[in-house]
Amino acid sequence: MSKVLVLYYSSYGHVETMAYAVAEGVKAAGLEVDVRRVPELVPEDAAKAHHFKTEQDAPLANTADLPLYDAIIVGAPTRFGRLPAQMANFWDQTGGLWAKGALIGKVGAVFTSTATQHGGQETTLYSLMSNLLHHGMVISGLPYSFQGQMKLDTVTGGSPYGATTIAAGDGSRQPDENELAGAKFLGQHVASLVKKLA
Ligand SMILES: Cc1cc2nc3c(=O)[nH]c(=O)nc-3n(C[C@H](O)[C@H](O)[C@H](O)COP(=O)(O)O)c2cc1C
């Protein structure tokens, strides 16, 4: 059976929550899914001082496993409008896979979290995507058939470039129902594309 990887980094749990919503969408579409996270790079005392959520259930990802998947959906919070070093560091170790063309033709998609509405959601999604494009992956966005991204009556995430949430400056806001639905939709949509390409 085709298999999808949801690969994420999360300091405070917002992207982690979104990752499981994406995985739920993949499962709902009938494909197998693994949720994996990339290793923390911030020193332990700094992570504690900044109240990072250091305990997370997802096993650590291994670059050697990437070729086993038919699709890879990547999520990470913004860092100054781009992907965090933790996620970049993971992809920086995939040069060998790139040289072999091991990920060419796989489906890719992305999701993110920012503190503020205009704090860099789309630039972060693009910076996550560029890793996948250089690997020759076929990128899927979040289609407008997920109509939740059109909502204007309330502050909420969602973008044609990928699923998103907004965490607030102090991290107090959690992914809302609409954002989780967007994440699930993305998982389901990617799974449907995998089935078409199989
Ligand atoms: C070093 C650093 C830079 C950040 N830069 C931005 C930024 O440019 N725009 C923004 O909206 N949020 C920014 N944030 C807030 C994070 O994006 C926010 O904590 C994150 O979305 C929460 O997701 P998580 O719980 O999965 O870690 C930054 C946070 C840190 C630690």
**pLDDT tens, the chain, 198 aa long:** 899 999 999 999 999 999 999 999 999 999 999 999 999 999 999 999 999 999 999 999 999 999 999 999 999 999 999 999 999 999 999 999 999 999 999 999 999 999 999 999 999 999 999 999 999 999 999 999 999 999 999 999 999 999 999 999 999 999 999 999 999 999 999 999 999 999
pLDDT of residue 169: 97
pLDDT digits (tens, 9 = 90+) for 135-175: 999 999 999 999 999 999 999 999 999 999 999 999 999 99
- E strand spans, the chain: 3-8, 32-37, 71-77, 107-114, 138-139, 163-166
Using most ligand atoms within 8 A of CB, pick from 78, 117, 170 the residue to mutate for ligand 1.
Answer: 78
pLDDT of residue 76: 99
Q: Tell me the CA–centroid distance for residue 111 and ligand 1, in Å.
A: 13
Q: Tell me the CA–centroid distance for residue 32 and ligand 1, in Å.
A: 30
Question: Per DSSP, what are the bridge partners of residue 3?
Answer: 32
pLDDT of residue 28: 98
pLDDT of residue 117: 96
* Nearest atom in ligand 1 to 169's CA: 15
d(CA 129, CA 59): 23
User: Whose structure tokens read 């058939």?
Assistant: 145
pLDDT of residue 60: 98
d(CA 198, CA 61): 24
The reply to whether ligand 1 has any atom less than 6 angstroms from the CB of 79 is yes
pLDDT of residue 1: 87
CA-nearest residue for atom 31, ligand 1, is 79
Q: Residue 77, exposed/middle/buried by CB under 10 A (0-12, 13-18, 19+)?
A: buried
- What three-state secondary structure class fits 41? coil
The reply to whether ligand 1 has any atom less than 6 angstroms from the CB of 171 is yes
Instruction: Determine the Cα angle at 127 with ends 118 and 184, to 5°.
Output: 75
Using most ligand atoms within 8 A of CB, pick from 18, 79, 125 the residue to mutate for ligand 1.
Answer: 79
pTM of the model: 0.98
pLDDT of residue 106: 98
Q: Tell me the CA–centroid distance for residue 105 and ligand 1, in Å.
A: 31
pLDDT of residue 196: 97
Give, rounded to a whole angstrom, the gap between the first and last alpha carbons of the chain. Answer: 10
